[in-house]
């Protein structure tokens, strides 16, 4: 049986098909939550925002026009919500820059594949450094890198999501990757950390 496209599913959701909405929810729940986790860090807020994305998709289903890819529309909603949340919480987040509040969940993530506690802690520390490096990027660069690197969205599609030109997206990514290379240089040399 062929996999139904997002477009087909969304058109059926528009016609009131609850099952199709459920399929879309299952397909994009993990990408949405992990996107928000990387954008805003906080697990609870990330899930609240992901829930809001699905609710907005549902609310606006009758007005859905298949002009662009479904994921472009979905990530545009998500990115706008994330950037607003970051701006709302900017002061709050700056005060907890070195906080490791999500360490427990990362610990759970690494618990099974790594053989011992020491490796787990090292992995945890490295993930924390990477996260801080990404969080240090300006908002648009951060969104572009997370979409490109972690959500595997093509740069042309990112242009549609961020509502900027393709060359502007390339420029954002060039600067972001160069900043990350500079910040993470010790990790790029084997044995440094």
Partner 1 sequence: MKCLDTERLIGYAYRLLDEPAAAEVCGHLQECTRCREAVAQYGRLDAVLNEWHEPGPSPAFDVRVRQAVEAEQARRERWGFTGWQWARNLALASLGVLMVAGLVWLNRNHRGVDHSTLVATQQSPHAGGAQNSGAAMNVHSAPSPTRVDVTPGLHAPSQESVNNGSTDDKDTQAMEDYDLAANFDVLSEIPKGERRVAN
Q: What is the DSSP track for 123-163? A: HHHHHHHHHHHHHTS-HHHHHHHIIIIIS---HHHHHHHHT
Q: Min. distance of Cβ 94 from partner 1 in angstroms? A: 21
Nearer Cβ to partner 1 (62/99): 62
Report, in Å, the least distance between residue 169 CB and partner 1: 9
* Choice between 12 and 148, CB closer to partner 1: 148
17 vs 172: CA distance, rounded Å: 39
CB neighbourhood size of 124 (10 A) = 18
Question: Which residues are near partner 1 by CB under 8 A?
Answer: 21, 25-26, 29-30, 33-34, 37-38, 43, 47, 50-51, 54-55, 58-59, 62-63, 105-106, 108-110, 123, 126-127, 130-131, 134, 148-150, 155, 170, 173-174, 177-178, 180-181, 184, 187-188
Minimum CB distance to partner 1 smaller for 72 or for 172: 172
| SS3 per residue for 94-110 | HCCCCCCCCHHHHHHHH
Q: How far is the CB of 82 from partner 1 (least distance, A)?
A: 14
Cα(14)–Cα(58) distance, integer angstroms: 8
Shortest CB 4 distance to partner 1, Å = 19
**Cβ closer to partner 1: 28 or 91?**
28
By CB atoms closer than 10 A (0-12, 13-18, 19+), residue 144 is buried
């Amino acid at each position: 049986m062929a996999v139904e496209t997002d477009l087909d599913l969304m058109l059926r959701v528009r016609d009131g098909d609850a099952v199709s909405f459920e399929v879309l929810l299952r397909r994009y729940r993990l990408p949405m939550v992990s996107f928000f986790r990387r954008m805003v860090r906080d697990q609870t807020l990330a899930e609240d925002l992901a829930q809001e994305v699905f609710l907005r998709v549902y609310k606006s289903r009758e007005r859905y026009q298949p002009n662009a890819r479904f994921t472009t529309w979905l990530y545009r909603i998500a990115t706008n919500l994330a950037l607003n949340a970051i701006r709302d919480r900017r002061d709050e987040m700056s005060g907890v820059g070195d906080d490791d509040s999500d360490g427990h969940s990362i610990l759970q993530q690494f618990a099974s594949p790594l053989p011992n506690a020491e490796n787990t802690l090292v992995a945890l520390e490295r993930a924390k450094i990477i996260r801080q490096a990404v969080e240090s990027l300006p908002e648009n660069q951060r969104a572009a890198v997370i979409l490109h690197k972690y959500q595997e969205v093509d740069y042309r599609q990112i242009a549609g999501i961020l509502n900027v030109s393709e060359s502007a997206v390339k420029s954002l990514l060039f600067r972001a990757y160069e900043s990350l290379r500079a910040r993470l240089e010790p990790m790029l040399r084997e044995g440094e950390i």
